[in-house]
Structure 1
Amino acid sequence: MSRFTALLPRSLVRRVLLLYVASLALLVTVAFAVFIVYEFGSTLDDAEADSQAMLATLAPVVADAAVIGDYDTIKRTLDRAIAHPLFERATFIDLKGGRLEVIRQDHPDISPPAWLVKRIAAQLEPVNAPINVGGRDYGVTRLTLWNERLAADIWQATRVALLFAVVGTLGGGVLVGWPLRRWLGQLDRVRDLGERLRLGGQGLQPMRTDEAPLEFQRTFEVVNQVAASLQAERAQAAVTLASIAEGVATLNRAGVVVLANPVLGRLLGSDNAAMLGQPIPQLLPELQLDPATTDGWRGRRFERGERVLEASLAPVRSDQGEPAGAVIVLRDVTEQQALEDRLRAELEARSHAMEAMSEMLGSAGSAPEGMRSGAIEQLSSQVGDMVTRLRRQTGQLHAIFNLSPDGFIAFDAERRVQFVSPACAFLTMLSDRNVLGQDEPGLEALLQSRFAQPDMQRPLRLQELRDTPRIVQMAKPMQRILSLALHDGGGAETPQLLHIRDISQQFELDRLKSEFMSTAAHELRTPMTSIYGFVELLLHREFSPERHRDLLQRVHRQSRAMIDILDELLDLSRIESRRALDFQFQPVCLGELLRQTLDDFGTPPGREPPALALAAEPLWVHVDASKLGQALRNLLSNAYKYSPGGGPVAMRLQPVDEEHVDIEVQDHGIGMTPEELEHVTERFYRADRSGAIPGTGLGMAIVKEIIELMDGSLELQSEPGRGTTATLRLRRIAAPAG
């Protein structure tokens, strides 16, 4: 593969042109081959058809002449046949072996290849027509096709087709090559623009995109934006460098000056334009700089004329850590040097004076030195304690931000992002690299892009979040509901702080609460409507004692249904709010509890009581016996209600392993589909939508809450038309002592 790639042209234009010409040549070759095969076959088929037609025309004339023995007429007939350009010879052979033959003497204008003539001769045989008159044979008329002429016609068509194929291929290459060079050749603009950027020229002209293809237009637009951004950054850097009181020069990897401020020119006594492109060792020979060095240094002083200059060098590295250049800074320290010289001279003078006094006063000069050393040690200790406290506080703040589920984005004095807490990336799906350094409009655009259906949302403005937090829904794959609020930072270094809080759970709880209230109101409204209607009838109309009693019974039944709904709602509310705080846990023997539950359960009239199957050994659990009995009664009630056609109901107790025990309640009723099984433990959900089976739709929800609060689980297995099995799995305990 590498060898094949090495044979390809290096230019994109030539590669595309080569691919086009090769594809066109392949298609033309295939078409040419199909055309030749078709031309060859059609020419031979036409020749055979024409020879048969000619023979059918000659046969009657030859037959009439053969009957009377008029061979002159036969000769003239054969001469007329041979005049046709299709035939090479015409022959008449009588029964006695006499042979009358006419042969063509001329040749076609184009000489075809011998192999083609042989191929046609092998394909075409002479055509014969027996001469029979009145049931008597007089001989045979034979026509031999002119193979050379047929080959010449096919060869002529082949040459013309080949000419058109070659001209078409070359012409297509020429026609495509010109626009390719015009379009793909525009990529040289990128190289020219890059060269101008590398040289640091001013006044870069943007690349025109009106004549380029759409893909190049987009590429050029991005390149123009990058070039404009680089130019703007260079202009900003130039302005910034011009405002710096020190001389600054930016070097590339080769140690050549690519950017310098005017102060550097004044310090070195040179023009800025003349310094650009110059190696730094030539500009600063006093420093003996090595362009290949990658280490920085500071504080190298040298004299340039009457000035004393101090140089510092800082290496610049790319994001991958590779050397990308350096920045050298020069500053005029002439006055500072003079001041240091005077100070040094004064210190030396004082030192000499102290030495003189020391000689006069003996060891008195050691006291000031000891006091000075103690003050320095005390100051160093205080600075170290301060640094330690600051590090401890910084570590505490980082720990708080790392553990907080809320996100925080802090801005600096220029209102640019300077800090992003770890939770921000998880909540917004935006990496720290994209967020850090953004100004307010940039951060607004990034957050807006993560909104669900951002084009349909009103634009995000951070300053509007100071008055009222904004609730937004984030896009996939993390569909969260976030609250955005902007707070004052409380200082000039951090003027504002964006607080991002995940309220998805609170939002979902509010939705579930509203849905629950709506469903509960609907369930209570149904019996209340009946009670209201019947009572209004009783108040405004007179009925017979029997009808009056019937209406009262209906009011009683609807009131009972409302009381059942309210009782179960209160039970569910107490269970959820107390979270098993009012459960009275104690060791319970399940066998005795199941017997007592069946004794207390009222079997519906006309139905057999539940069949009970217990384990061979006593099984103990640590539960609230009253709550577990309530759950079992709900299961038994459902088993009878949802098997209206009858059928046995069974309750079984069996151990699973050394740690768990199962209680099964099985019926043979209407059963449930897999879709119904998914929702059966939801509040107010009922598998029977007809309303023929009474109930509130809260029983299974209560069972699930009770069992889970007792560290158990509920499992349901059901099949439509074959019944349902509810399994309560609880943790076993050892039998209590005594």
Structure 2
Amino acid sequence: MSRIDALLPRSLVSRVMLVYTVALTLLVVTGVGVFLAYTFRATLDDADSGAQAMSALLSPAVADSAVVGDYDTIRRTLERVITHPLFERAAFIDLKGGRIEVVRQDRPDPTPPDWLVRHVESRQSPVNATINVGGRDYGITRLSVWSDRVAADIWQVMRLALLLAALGVLAGLALVWWPLKRWLGQLDRVSDLGTRLQEGGQALLPMPVDQAPLEFQRTFEVVNQVAASLQAERAQAAVTLASIAEGVATVNRAGIVVLTNPVLGELLGGASATLLGQPIAALLPELDVDPTAPDGWLGHRFERGKRMLEASLAPVRSGPDGDAAGAVIVLRDVTERQLLENQLRTELDARAHAMTAMSQMLGSAGSVADGMRAGAIEQLSSQVGDMVARLRRQTSQLHAIFNLTPDGFIAFDARHRVQFVSPACVFLTMLSDRQLLGQDEAGLEALLQARFAESDALRPLRLQELRDAPRIVQMAQPMARILSLALHDGGGAETPQLLHIRDVSQQFELDRLKSEFLSTAAHELRTPMTSIFGFVELLIHREMSPERHRELLQRVHRQSRAMMDILDELLDLSRIEARRALDFQFGPVCLNELLRRTVDDFGVPAGREAPALLPAAQPLWVHADASKLGQALRNLLSNAYKYSPGGGPVTLRLQPADDGQVDIEVEDRGIGMTAQELARVSERFYRADRSGAIPGTGLGMSIVKAIIELMDGSLLLRSEPGRGTTATLRLRVTATPTDASPATGAPAAA
């Protein structure tokens, strides 16, 4: 709380305004947040309702044209649909995979921020409707809500709400500031009274209580009573001081004299009334008077004319912490005492001189014993020095061990209080040495319990229970991590027990990723296996025509092929990651020749043109595995054709890059990806197409990324929804081999 108090304003008016500002801001922010949340939900609901209604109107219009195959009319119908400001794109997909899609090209005004557009996109899904005429399906229509337009409407309302909220807060502060300043400003009367109290010589006039708030009136009445009591005490102190035979002066924290007696004036050669209000440093320059010093002093003597004066200082403490509020200085005349002390000192010096002369005459008798004693002391000192040096070396070694280990250790002393905390423990718990050292078991349990996540905070922490088995806890502060707590015997009476803290977050994260991978793989394999099981069961239990029988067998074969593809790619990915390029056969590879062979051997889907090859102007060589690099290129080409079902060219381009590198680019004009999809495209089993219309396992890009990184290269992706994707494999160029064959680009035979 002391740190918080240090940050607060000093004046009461500022503190009240701070509390009012925070409360008003919280209320306004809460109200604006509730309003914006309601506006956001209402806008999204209206958009969904409009999309559903438009889809219902669009289906009959498209159905008539779909039956007769009039795709031009369908396109015009879709173009009319996206003129509505609610939709960004409209598409018709027939049963053969043909796709007619119309995309909006303009941008909304005002332009909403990207985070709001992403949030709106995550809450919306395309509206699909099946085109069914006479019990026969002809395809589906798909309407995508214009997320930018919806976000722009929400953003416009949000800006207006924030502006009104800011104006409301400012207006509320302005309306409160003036009366608050007028009422609380009367506290300055207390400051005036305090000034008169510090000056000391002035009469304490009572504070007026009229026109002040009720609470201030009561406060001023109490202050007036205290001031009257102080005035009476001053008068009594003046009478008492006048009867004292020593000079007395009271000074405040600033070193100003606020109270004296007549004797002080006589000792300093002036009237006591003239000493009030003067600095004590000017009256007694022979003394170093510090009224704020925590300790006093006695018997400081100095000469003033023919007199020898002795001064003493006692601090005046006030407040609960005993801070110095001033000091009392007492002066007494010790001229006669000083004369007697001088005579006594002269006599003692004479006797000491005689004793010294006698000691010198008898001093030779103890010289041998003194030498032996000195040698023993020197030997003992040497042994103690060696022991201290060994202890320092052992301490340095232990500190090095504890500084390097990632585990945390807390050691307890014989009273079961914390006596040592390792640096790793401070990092894992974010509890400083000052917080932990000296804590007993209950105090340490409370400090650690406060750092637990909500799920673990319900079960109290008991250190002695950690002797039987370690406890795994989820930490919420200072950051989310998982720790293992175990209590061990310390092996001695000075350190009876030791708390061991270990970070097991990575272990738990690996277990989670393994479980997630197994679950996803099982799900992907179950889909084709379910189809195979169902078709085989039909073949066993039903009689059917040979044509139908053959059709089902073909489906079983296709699903088996799909499952084999998944297993093959899983095995490839597992082998690549497990062997870490040990199976790779690295050598010089001419990229121009490798790309040409890849294009020649690639099986282009029916009805599509072969990829356009744009080689480099001169042969470019890399150090890689030609087979694995070709596999990565085939995966990229396969993705380029699959994710451009509407057609369009696929380009394979080779071009030099900066810093001695080369780029292999595979470019398509397909459906493209959003920024969120692009960030996850190399995850296992992740597929950008959620409709299921595009076949695939979702492992191809993971394999490409693993292969290229093991060749010391990198995978770069650029994509834009509706405009296509460019995948780039970047490798480092090597020098042309001396035995390279100009015809094939491969090394010539020896």
TM bucket (normalised to shorter chain) is 0.5 to 0.7
Report the alpha carbon displacement of residue 181 of structure 1 after superposing the two structures with TM: 5.4
Mark the CA change 1:399 to 1:24 in structure 2 (over 3 Å): closer, same or farther: closer
Counterpart in the other structure of 1:415? 416
The 1-side partners of 2:606 and 2:430 are apart by 62
Mark the CA change 1:398 to 1:172 in structure 2 (over 3 Å): closer, same or farther: same
Counterpart in the other structure of 2:681? 680
Counterpart in the other structure of 2:583? 582
SS of 1:487's partner is strand
Alignment partner of 1:451 is 2:490? no
Alignment partner of 1:177 is 2:216? yes
Counterpart in the other structure of 1:201? none
The 1-side partners of 2:312 and 2:698 are apart by 84
Q: Is the 8 A contact 2:407 2:503 kept in 1?
A: yes
Report the alpha carbon displacement of residue 581 of structure 1 after superposing the two structures with TM: 2.9
SS of 1:729's partner is strand
- 1:245-260 correspondence to structure 2 within 5 Å: none
Q: Is the 8 A contact 1:658 1:732 kept in 2?
A: no
SS of 1:726's partner is strand
Q: Is the 8 A contact 1:667 1:723 kept in 2?
A: yes
- 1:512-661 correspondence to structure 2 within 5 Å: 512-661=513-662
Mark the CA change 1:175 to 1:517 in structure 2 (over 3 Å): closer, same or farther: same
Amino acid of the residue matched to residue 647 of structure 1? G
SS of 2:212's partner is helix
- 1:151-550 correspondence to structure 2 within 5 Å: 172-173=211-212, 175-180=214-219, 383-453=384-454, 456-550=457-551
How far does the alpha carbon of each residue in 1:435-487 deviate from its partner, in whole angstroms, 9 at most, with x for none? 11111111111111122238953221111111121222222552111111111
Report the alpha carbon displacement of residue 609 of structure 1 after superposing the two structures with TM: 1.1
Q: Is the 8 A contact 1:483 1:501 kept in 2?
A: yes
Mark the CA change 1:690 to 1:379 in structure 2 (over 3 Å): closer, same or farther: same
Amino acid of the residue matched to residue 682 of structure 1? E
Mark the CA change 1:177 to 1:376 in structure 2 (over 3 Å): closer, same or farther: closer
Counterpart in the other structure of 1:715? 716
Q: Is the 8 A contact 2:489 2:498 kept in 1?
A: yes
SS of 1:686's partner is coil
Report the alpha carbon displacement of residue 24 of structure 1 after superposing the two structures with TM: 9.5
Amino acid of the residue matched to residue 627 of structure 1? K
The 2-side partners of 1:599 and 1:727 are apart by 20
The 2-side partners of 1:517 and 1:455 are apart by 28
Amino acid of the residue matched to residue 486 of structure 1? L
The 2-side partners of 1:184 and 1:170 are apart by 11
Scaled by the length of structure 2, what TM-score is found?
Answer: 0.51
Counterpart in the other structure of 1:689? 690
How far does the alpha carbon of each residue in 1:305-351 deviate from its partner, in whole angstroms, 9 at most, with x for none? xxxxxxxxxxxxx9xxxxxxxxxxxxxxxxxxxxxxxxxxxxxxxxx
Unpaired runs of 5+ in structure 2?
1-11, 17-177, 187-207, 228-291, 301-310, 314-320, 322-361, 740-750
SS of 1:486's partner is strand
The 2-side partners of 1:435 and 1:730 are apart by 53
Report the alpha carbon displacement of residue 662 of structure 1 after superposing the two structures with TM: 0.5
The 2-side partners of 1:667 and 1:720 are apart by 12
SS of 1:533's partner is helix
Counterpart in the other structure of 2:114? none
Counterpart in the other structure of 2:702? 701
How far does the alpha carbon of each residue in 1:230-286 deviate from its partner, in whole angstroms, 9 at most, with x for none? xxxxxxxxxxxxxxxxxxxxxx97657xxxxxxxxxxxxxxxxxxxxxx8999xxxx
Report the alpha carbon displacement of residue 706 of structure 1 after superposing the two structures with TM: 1.4
Mark the CA change 1:557 to 1:628 in structure 2 (over 3 Å): closer, same or farther: same
Q: Is the 8 A contact 1:21 1:172 kept in 2?
A: no
SS of 2:484's partner is strand
Q: Is the 8 A contact 2:592 2:615 kept in 1?
A: yes
How far does the alpha carbon of each residue in 1:668-712 deviate from its partner, in whole angstroms, 9 at most, with x for none? 111112221111111111111121111000111111111122221
Q: Is the 8 A contact 1:448 1:454 kept in 2?
A: no
Q: Is the 8 A contact 1:410 1:494 kept in 2?
A: yes
Mark the CA change 1:21 to 1:652 in structure 2 (over 3 Å): closer, same or farther: closer
Mark the CA change 1:482 to 1:184 in structure 2 (over 3 Å): closer, same or farther: farther
Mark the CA change 1:708 to 1:187 in structure 2 (over 3 Å): closer, same or farther: farther
The 2-side partners of 1:599 and 1:611 are apart by 11
Amino acid of the residue matched to residue 651 of structure 1? L
How far does the alpha carbon of each residue in 1:25-55 deviate from its partner, in whole angstroms, 9 at most, with x for none? 99xxxxxxxxxxxxxxxxxxxxxxxxxxxxx
How far does the alpha carbon of each residue in 1:633-653 deviate from its partner, in whole angstroms, 9 at most, with x for none? 110110111111211111001
Amino acid of the residue matched to residue 524 of structure 1? L
The 1-side partners of 2:679 and 2:212 are apart by 67
Report the alpha carbon displacement of residue 393 of structure 1 after superposing the two structures with TM: 2.1
Report the alpha carbon displacement of residue 599 of structure 1 after superposing the two structures with TM: 2.4
Amino acid of the residue matched to residue 530 of structure 2? T
SS of 1:173's partner is coil
Q: Is the 8 A contact 1:406 1:499 kept in 2?
A: yes
Report the alpha carbon displacement of residue 580 of structure 1 after superposing the two structures with TM: 2.3
Report the alpha carbon displacement of residue 736 of structure 1 after superposing the two structures with TM: 2.7
Amino acid of the residue matched to residue 478 of structure 1? M
The 1-side partners of 2:510 and 2:220 are apart by 65
Report the alpha carbon displacement of residue 22 of structure 1 after superposing the two structures with TM: 3.6
The 2-side partners of 1:564 and 1:411 are apart by 60
The 2-side partners of 1:728 and 1:291 are apart by 88
The 1-side partners of 2:431 and 2:663 are apart by 49
Scaled by the length of structure 1, what TM-score is found?
Answer: 0.52
Q: Is the 8 A contact 2:573 2:703 kept in 1?
A: yes
Mark the CA change 1:474 to 1:455 in structure 2 (over 3 Å): closer, same or farther: closer
The 2-side partners of 1:21 and 1:648 are apart by 75
SS of 2:631's partner is helix
The 2-side partners of 1:182 and 1:572 are apart by 86
Q: Is the 8 A contact 1:255 1:291 kept in 2?
A: no
Report the alpha carbon displacement of residue 402 of structure 1 after superposing the two structures with TM: 0.8
Mark the CA change 1:655 to 1:254 in structure 2 (over 3 Å): closer, same or farther: closer
How far does the alpha carbon of each residue in 1:502-530 deviate from its partner, in whole angstroms, 9 at most, with x for none? 11222211111111111111101101111
SS of 1:518's partner is helix
Report the alpha carbon displacement of residue 355 of structure 1 after superposing the two structures with TM: 7.9
Between 1:544-553 and 1:176-185, the stretch displaced more is: 176-185
Amino acid of the residue matched to residue 646 of structure 2? G
Q: Is the 8 A contact 2:183 2:212 kept in 1?
A: no
The 1-side partners of 2:185 and 2:585 are apart by 91
Report the alpha carbon displacement of residue 569 of structure 1 after superposing the two structures with TM: 0.9
How far does the alpha carbon of each residue in 1:563-594 deviate from its partner, in whole angstroms, 9 at most, with x for none? 11111111111222222233222222211221
Q: What is the RMSD computed on CA atoms of the aligned residues?
A: 4.1
Mark the CA change 1:727 to 1:371 in structure 2 (over 3 Å): closer, same or farther: same
Unpaired runs of 5+ in structure 1?
1-7, 13-17, 27-168, 189-251, 257-278, 283-289, 293-317, 319-351, 357-364
How far does the alpha carbon of each residue in 1:139-174 deviate from its partner, in whole angstroms, 9 at most, with x for none? xxxxxxxxxxxxxxxxxxxxxxxxxxxxxx976526
The 1-side partners of 2:312 and 2:484 are apart by 54
Amino acid of the residue matched to residue 422 of structure 2? S
Counterpart in the other structure of 1:360? none
Q: Is the 8 A contact 1:585 1:624 kept in 2?
A: yes
Amino acid of the residue matched to residue 462 of structure 2? R
The 2-side partners of 1:606 and 1:407 are apart by 65
Counterpart in the other structure of 1:733? 734
The 1-side partners of 2:441 and 2:650 are apart by 69
